[in-house]
Structure 1
Amino acid sequence: MIGNLRQIALTTTAIGFFLAPPAQAQVEAASDVSGAEETDAIVVTARRMEENLQDVPISITVFSQQQIDNRNIVNAADLAIYTPSLSLNSRFGPEKASFIIRGFVQDLATQPSVGVYFADVVAPRAGGSTTSGNGVGVGSMFDLQNVQVLKGPQGTLFGRNTTGGAVLLVPRRPTDKLEGYVEGSYGNYDMRRLQAVANIPLADTFKVRLGVDRMKRDGYLRNRSGTGPDRLGDSDYIAARLSILAELTPDLENYTVATYSKSDNNGITLRVLGCNREPAANIAANARLACAQVDRQNARGDGWWDIESNERDPKFQAETWQIINTTTLRASDTLTIKNIASYGEFREITRMSLQGDNLVNPDGTFAKALVQLNNTPGYYNSRQATYTEELQLQGRGFDGKLNWQAGGYFENSDPLGVSSQATGIGLNCPNLQDLQCNAAPPLNLPAAGRVFVSTVSRPFLKASFRSRGLYAQATYRLSDLLAVTGGVRYTWERMRHDYASQTIGFPATNTPVYYCGNSVRVRYPVGTSSPVNPGFNFPVATAPLGYEACNVTFTAKSDRPTWLIGVDFTPTEDLLFYAKYARGYRGGGAAGANIYFETWGPEKVDTYEAGAKVTLRGSSARGYFNTAVFYNDFSDQQIAASLIRAATSPLLGGNAIINAGKSKIWGIEADAAVTLFDIFRVDGGYTYLNARLKELDPSTYALAPEQRLVWADVRPTASPSIRGGRLAFSPKHRLSLTGTILLPVDESIGDVSLGATYVYTSKQLAGTATAPQYQLLPSSQLVNLNVNWNKVMNSPVDLALFMTNATNEKFHSAIANAWASYGFEAGIVNEPRMYGVRLRYSLR
């Protein structure tokens, strides 16, 4: 298979260069033979201004709205499937997923490695203890001009510094035409979706655009436990958008976009993949119960999408709203001043079984749930407000030879009160929300006294972020053939994390007892004496403790410069070569959950990239072929690690972020689109990615004597532990090919096209804290099909049929890393075959 992929990539490269004779016809690379809108060029905003895709020296993948519709892209997980170099960390479900570009992963509560921007503004932060928010929510993928995926650090021009890249969602702006559409979709799993958009020019200088997207779909995961709903993996969301464009004077424009989305569904849980039949003594009890679950699955003949959930009231609810205002003043022919301000809020409630277990005793009674993730009653898991302000200057000089930008960026993100996540560990709780849990007697540990191992953890937290930046970038054209670019930015960042860990134990009396949990190190130092727990001062109470009783604060500060140096060579109008060197950086962070590992520092990357962009203008073939090679030198890498409890520790363990790694990431990317004879179009993308560990700093794991009272070991979870090991969620090969053919029917019938998309993703590392057979995610081959009949019988009606995962491919996209801790492994399974029909009526 790999040999075939290499042959395909080389053949595509050869065809691209062979079909690239220079010509004087206008570029029509963006035309879509499916009958969608045609433009003279693909317009991107990768450098904060509108430019032709082929003039921008950046590796970019672009999707038009028609391509998004044809692929049935609804959320972040869908977008990652079709984009070479773009992967997904979906450990907590598809709507809590985070983007990965070129192997740069966002783990746990770290800051995003990929910035997601809507209308030039970064997505509101989430501020929770798991990856969530900060990205593309459901309801964002309609009425767009395009989606642009920028690869590599974009640290000199974009608001928030990241190491991986940026994803830009560009909404359609109001126009001077009275137009719009109503679209309805229906599909399997009782999928129903309604979209409506209206563009209303109230005056020559005042235009409004309104849009709404509503979707419901039954779950594709069948719950066989008898606990909770019968189906998980459902969809239920609404999104709305209002855009107002006011042209106050010929040189002054005000553009406002208001967005709102709310998703409320049953969420997902994992499917148990296998168990340890010969477990170690410390995990034997859990492993036996997990093996019984595997045996039940096999005896019933469960399918790939059959699961057992132990959560009685599963839920995923996310609500986001944001207002963006952009004021643009053309102060002169050579100077434009732009001010971009935004305010947004994000709220989330999550209730799920984190390991996919449903542990049942031999007599059929429920035994316990290993990890139940919930919200504390009356609280959100995350509730955050984000305000951004950016002043941007754009100018030209030296008879158009110099193009420059400069500006300042300001971001404040603060909690909307206290958030609280309730996590039940190793308990049988008929009602975790109301603390109705069966007794779990404490253990007698020699150095810790009587401590509770099976508990409910209710941390109350507040996270605040501050980001400030000054930047400037300029391109100077030395001649018609040669241009140089230089950019610099300095960023100051601070994250403050207020954390009040309240732990609840359940003794035989069934009266819960409360004590401060992982905040013990700061408020009650390790080594002090306590009559309740000698060696660990846990003051125990029989009533809930106040927020201040357990609160501790951790702060992470960092400031770094980033820069870019590049050169462009344009030997002809249709050929661009470029080379650049860029420094990227991602800020550090804080999370009070784990003693001695509450903060981590920033990471940085040095990126070297060279590429070529070819424009095809032939009368029988037009399009583009773009390719790039890159090398990343990654330092102070933020790595997720498992904390293994010491024998005398009152804590259960946990996950922490450490700065431990140096990696080298290099690869090749290619994107192409060719239209032949106005009836056949091929879109393709390919990435070869070699992402491996260069060095792991052993000193990171050298625990001090006082640390060993709490932790026995620190182990990387989703990262390799040996030099030369591959990095997580970084498939070596990703190939995407789409073919679309326009049928030769009479114009009075309309435009009829057939399309097919094939996506191959090779194996990728999911985690190292598990059995070898589960460390690698399997390769996958997805096939999507679509039929479009636009302008049906020369009417304003468009009809489309679509099918995703047509072959019903089965694979898991993330694992729980539960083997070492619990004696089994579980994974998140992909969506099955989805199909449906869309009908649109347009006012043109």
Structure 2
Amino acid sequence: MRTIYLAALAASTMLSPAGSAWAQSAATGATQINEGDIVVTARRRDETLSTVPAAITALAADDLVQRGVRTDSDLQAVAPGLTIRQTQGNNSLTYSIRGQTADTFSGSPSAVIAYLNEVPLTINGASSFYDLENVQVLKGPQGTLFGRNATGGAVLYNSAKPTDTLEGLVRGRIGNYDLREVEGMLNVPLVEDKVLLRGAFDLVRRDGYIRNLLNGERLGDIRRDGGRLTLTVRPTEAISNTTMVQYTKSGGTNTGASYTYSVYGCGDTNNGFALTCGAGLLFGPGLDSVAGPGAWAAYLAAHPEAYAPGLIAYVDEQRRIGPYRTRHPGGASHRGRDWFVTNTTEFELGGDATVRNIFGYSHSRTRSEQPQLGAPFVTILTANEPAGEYGNQLRVKSFSEELQLVGEAMDGRLDYIFGYYMQRQRSDTIWPQTYFDVRPVMQPNSVTNAFRLRNKTDALYGQLSYELAPDLKLTGGLRYTWERVSIAQRPEATYTYGAPDQKKTFSDPSWDVGLEYKVTDAWFAYLKTRGSFRSGGFNGAAPPVNATATDGGNLFDSEHTQDIEGGVKFSGLAFGRPASFATAVFVQWIQDVQRVEFPDPDGPGGLASIAVTANVPSSRIWGFEAQGNVRPVDWLELGGSAAYTKAKFTDGAISLFGNPYAYGPVGDTPKFSGTAYAQVSLPVGEDMGDLSLRGEVYGQTAQYFSNASASIAPGTRLPGYALLHARLDWSEIAGSGFSAALFAKNLTDEAYFVGGMTLAAALGHNAAAVGEPRTYGLELSYRF
């Protein structure tokens, strides 16, 4: 069956070039051909998707509903080259684009920055998508125009703005795993065209899909409530002010990395590297060689839930019980609260110039107990029992301010934007850990890392686009950024509290140079090169010494990148039928790549470990992406997307605390991924509404969840998979405001993996995060 899916995917991709020829109108749900091209803001101004010189996937509001994009994880299936990686499960998400990402337990800034209304988001867990105007995925280095530097890309979420129309929407969903969801929107013009108010909410409840056989608990429970108010005030025709306030409360349980994937035995090697074997040694018959004869029998007598053959043998037992059963011995609770505020003020100066101010504030708190292995042994828990601390805790406060001057000059031949960006962010982290609980034979090692990171960012930028000749433009942008990073050890820290605070400033330029050419009304081409960087910083769990991990400290340096990208876009008629096409080819070079490792300062086989961000010397990534659609007949729409990404560490050799490490292959980057879909309009009569059936398949090849699988972390390759989704939609039933839909995801109930937690260097085991099984349900909505 998988072979059939992948063959269909490849065929559809070749037959139907991918793009966004048909943008869904958020107000009416009507399909618009070409003229309805989605408006995007990739260059901080409104432009049509088909004429922006960049690789972008954009989805309008109704597209999100039709394609079942309900959370961050769903974006992977609709944006070629984007991977939503789960390290510790459904509430530990990381964006990865073109091989650029940020690892868990890292002090590194994200390589892919998410924004809501042009303000950087702090993502502590999965979020719900409701009442959005659009979502845009920008690929490649960013930094010339956007708030934070990013070496991989940016994901832009834009909430729906108030309009001058009284309207509302209520939508409900029920489904398997006891899914219950209600979302709604009400738009009220308080003063016509002057004061506009919009409110929206989303309430979700769903049971988990992984059963913990030790206590009957379900992992993956969702309990999420969100609400948003947006107010637009236009005192004059030249001034507009929009304020959005959003609150989200989340609960439930984490799926975690609950599938025991691989464990190493003492004496195991991989390409000449000795493998860490602490967990496999202590949790098995080998305990007798450490603690004396009878030690393993004493442990089993005190822990009747343990697996008698030991942890190494449990890998086969996990395969036997399957991906949706686990024996995690600890908790899995998740709690979070998030406040987010944005304010955008625009003042038209006249003469095609506008001053824009963007303010943002966020306050996020989470506490999560993360399953990091599904076996019935406490090799590691997110808890420090003697200190009474349970769950990883993170509190982030941030505010930002951005002032822009945007406009045109020289009779419209010159577009310009100049700006200043400032952000102040404080992160308080508490990581309680318990290692190797082999009581009564040996006492566990309990430790808490607790620290405060501050980041003060300031940047000046400008970008010009000049029309050299009709339909030919040259663009150049430059930005200089200063990031001052500091770390302070908190009182909860077991060993490091009292160490002096540390500070360091990182500063560098970012740049963008490109040519774009409107070849015809239908064809558009561009060629560009960019450079950007990720700030360095401090590892909160490493010794507070002003040196990198190579020299036994907690510092890591900035990451730098450069790329070349060329693309072609088409939006028009192909053989007399509407079609669109967008493709991009790229090559990217990265130096001092920021990657996390969990080294043992005492070398392989020791019982101590820490998380450090290291700078891997260099990597290179190249590939292509394509997306689009075509309508061969009025009642049928075909579309697809595809991405090929070839990522490699060109120099992956480093030393951490005196021990050699080698990196490769690049993790979290499938070589091939893509989507193919067909949507059929079914005849029901002119007065009965619109009935359509959509089928979609997403597939990807294998990927690694470690960046060191060829050396110290073998057994971290996840197989490829294909998922089939479907939706039957009946909108505006009998001319009313009622609509109904049946939806299903992963129709064939494929078991697959979406990431993992590699503790190979630290403990000698690795665990995988499993994807959702088959889900289905009924959706009812009423729009007025």
Which category describes the TM-score, using the shorter chain as reference length? 0.7 to 0.9
Match of 1:463 among 433, 453, 457: 453
Query: Is the 1:556–1:601 contact (alpha carbons within 8 Å) kept by the matching residues of 2?
Result: no
Q: Whose RCO is larger (CA < 8 A, sep 6+)?
A: 2
Query: Is the 2:475–2:512 contact (alpha carbons within 8 Å) kept by the matching residues of 1?
Result: yes
Inter-CA distance 637–300: structure 2 relative to 1 (3 Å threshold): closer
Q: Which residue of 1 aligns with 2:371?
A: 353
Query: Is the 2:414–2:467 contact (alpha carbons within 8 Å) kept by the matching residues of 1?
Result: yes
Query: Is the 1:666–1:689 contact (alpha carbons within 8 Å) kept by the matching residues of 2?
Result: yes
Q: Between the two proteins, what is the percent identity of the paired residues?
A: 27
1:715 Cα offset (Å): 3.1
Q: Which residue of 2 aligns with 1:395?
A: 407
Query: Is the 1:262–1:319 contact (alpha carbons within 8 Å) kept by the matching residues of 2?
Result: yes
Query: Is the 2:600–2:606 contact (alpha carbons within 8 Å) kept by the matching residues of 1?
Result: no
Q: Which residue of 1 aligns with 2:222?
A: 235
Inter-CA distance 439–320: structure 2 relative to 1 (3 Å threshold): farther
Q: Which residue of 2 aligns with 1:715?
A: 661
Q: Distance in 1 between matches of 2:743 and 2:465?
A: 44
Query: Is the 2:200–2:228 contact (alpha carbons within 8 Å) kept by the matching residues of 1?
Result: yes
Query: Is the 1:615–1:623 contact (alpha carbons within 8 Å) kept by the matching residues of 2?
Result: yes
Query: Is the 1:338–1:392 contact (alpha carbons within 8 Å) kept by the matching residues of 2?
Result: yes
Superposition map of 1:595-744 within 5 A: 595=543, 596-617=552-573, 621-646=577-602, 652-696=608-652, 698=653, 700-701=654-655, 711=657, 713-715=659-661, 719-720=663-664, 726-744=665-683
Deviations 1:449-472 (A, max 9, x none): xxxxx3221222111111111000
Superposition map of 1:543-554 within 5 A: 549-554=497-502
Query: Is the 1:603–1:638 contact (alpha carbons within 8 Å) kept by the matching residues of 2?
Result: yes
* Counterpart code for 1:59: A
Q: Distance in 1 between matches of 2:25 and 2:631?
A: 8
Q: Distance in 2 between matches of 1:47 and 1:236?
A: 36
Q: Which residue of 2 aligns with 1:536?
A: none
Q: Which residue of 2 aligns with 1:486?
A: 476
Inter-CA distance 694–748: structure 2 relative to 1 (3 Å threshold): same
Q: Distance in 1 between matches of 2:324 and 2:481?
A: 46
Q: Which residue of 1 aligns with 2:273?
A: none
* Runs of 5+ unmatched residues, structure 1: 21-26, 125-131, 360-367, 429-436, 442-453, 504-515, 520-548, 704-710, 721-725
- Residue 223, structure 1, aligned to residue 212, structure 2: yes
Q: More deviation in 66-75 or 385-394? A: 66-75
1:336 Cα offset (Å): 0.5
Deviations 1:238-257 (A, max 9, x none): 01011111111011000111
Query: Is the 2:357–2:401 contact (alpha carbons within 8 Å) kept by the matching residues of 1?
Result: yes
1:198 Cα offset (Å): 0.3
Alignment coverage as a number of residue pairs: 733
Q: Distance in 1 between matches of 2:606 and 2:498?
A: 16
1:744 Cα offset (Å): 2.0
Inter-CA distance 497–356: structure 2 relative to 1 (3 Å threshold): farther
Match of 1:754 among 682, 685, 693: 693
The DSSP-based 3-state class of the residue aligned with 1:69 is helix
Q: Distance in 2 between matches of 1:648 and 1:309?
A: 25
The DSSP-based 3-state class of the residue aligned with 2:157 is strand
Superposition map of 1:764-779 within 5 A: 764-767=703-706, 768=708, 774-779=715-720
Deviations 1:682-701 (A, max 9, x none): 231111111111113x4x41
The DSSP-based 3-state class of the residue aligned with 2:683 is coil
Query: Is the 2:713–2:760 contact (alpha carbons within 8 Å) kept by the matching residues of 1?
Result: no
The DSSP-based 3-state class of the residue aligned with 1:817 is strand
Q: More deviation in 81-90 or 776-785? A: 81-90
Q: Distance in 2 between matches of 1:254 and 1:571?
A: 38
Inter-CA distance 285–824: structure 2 relative to 1 (3 Å threshold): same
The DSSP-based 3-state class of the residue aligned with 2:54 is coil
Q: Distance in 2 between matches of 1:181 and 1:8?
A: 35
Deviations 1:699-740 (A, max 9, x none): x41x6xxxxxxx562535xx41xxxxx311111101111211
The DSSP-based 3-state class of the residue aligned with 1:184 is strand
Q: Distance in 2 between matches of 1:807 and 1:666?
A: 33
Deviations 1:561-584 (A, max 9, x none): 010110011121111110001002
Q: Distance in 1 between matches of 2:670 and 2:242?
A: 40
Inter-CA distance 753–11: structure 2 relative to 1 (3 Å threshold): closer
- Residue 180, structure 1, aligned to residue 173, structure 2: no
Q: Distance in 1 between matches of 2:26 and 2:452?
A: 51
Inter-CA distance 552–440: structure 2 relative to 1 (3 Å threshold): farther
Query: Is the 2:481–2:509 contact (alpha carbons within 8 Å) kept by the matching residues of 1?
Result: yes
The DSSP-based 3-state class of the residue aligned with 1:176 is coil
Q: Distance in 2 between matches of 1:499 and 1:57?
A: 45
Q: Distance in 1 between matches of 2:617 and 2:31?
A: 47
Q: More deviation in 262-271 or 51-60? A: 262-271
Q: Which residue of 2 aligns with 1:264?
A: 251
Q: Which residue of 2 aligns with 1:544?
A: none
* Counterpart code for 2:135: V
- Residue 323, structure 1, aligned to residue 341, structure 2: yes
The DSSP-based 3-state class of the residue aligned with 2:190 is strand
The DSSP-based 3-state class of the residue aligned with 2:75 is helix
Query: Is the 1:782–1:805 contact (alpha carbons within 8 Å) kept by the matching residues of 2?
Result: yes
Q: Distance in 1 between matches of 2:433 and 2:250?
A: 22
Q: Distance in 2 between matches of 1:295 and 1:169?
A: 43
- Residue 813, structure 1, aligned to residue 769, structure 2: no
Inter-CA distance 568–9: structure 2 relative to 1 (3 Å threshold): farther
1:292 Cα offset (Å): 3.9
1:264 Cα offset (Å): 0.6
* Counterpart code for 2:372: L
Superposition map of 1:578-597 within 5 A: 578-595=526-543, 596-597=552-553
Q: More deviation in 816-825 or 487-496? A: 816-825
1:438 Cα offset (Å): 6.8
* Runs of 5+ unmatched residues, structure 2: 269-276, 286-305, 544-551
Query: Is the 1:30–1:623 contact (alpha carbons within 8 Å) kept by the matching residues of 2?
Result: no
1:585 Cα offset (Å): 1.0
The DSSP-based 3-state class of the residue aligned with 1:338 is strand
Inter-CA distance 790–472: structure 2 relative to 1 (3 Å threshold): same
Inter-CA distance 263–163: structure 2 relative to 1 (3 Å threshold): same
Inter-CA distance 439–499: structure 2 relative to 1 (3 Å threshold): farther
Q: Distance in 1 between matches of 2:250 and 2:14?
A: 42
* Counterpart code for 2:205: K
* Counterpart code for 1:307: T
Superposition map of 1:115-514 within 5 A: 115-124=113-122, 133=124, 137-139=126-128, 141-204=129-192, 205-226=194-215, 230-269=217-256, 270-276=258-264, 282=278, 283-288=280-285, 291-292=309-310, 298=317, 302-311=321-330, 313-359=331-377, 368-373=378-383, 377=389, 381-415=393-427, 419-427=429-437, 440=442, 454-500=444-490
Inter-CA distance 232–7: structure 2 relative to 1 (3 Å threshold): closer
Q: Once superposed, what is the RMSD of the aligned Cα atoms? A: 3.0
Query: Is the 1:501–1:593 contact (alpha carbons within 8 Å) kept by the matching residues of 2?
Result: no
* Counterpart code for 1:460: A
Inter-CA distance 14–480: structure 2 relative to 1 (3 Å threshold): farther
Q: Distance in 2 between matches of 1:736 and 1:621?
A: 22
- Residue 797, structure 1, aligned to residue 738, structure 2: yes
Inter-CA distance 639–820: structure 2 relative to 1 (3 Å threshold): closer
* Counterpart code for 2:520: T
The DSSP-based 3-state class of the residue aligned with 2:405 is strand
Q: More deviation in 8-17 or 323-332? A: 8-17
* Counterpart code for 1:169: Y
The DSSP-based 3-state class of the residue aligned with 1:160 is coil
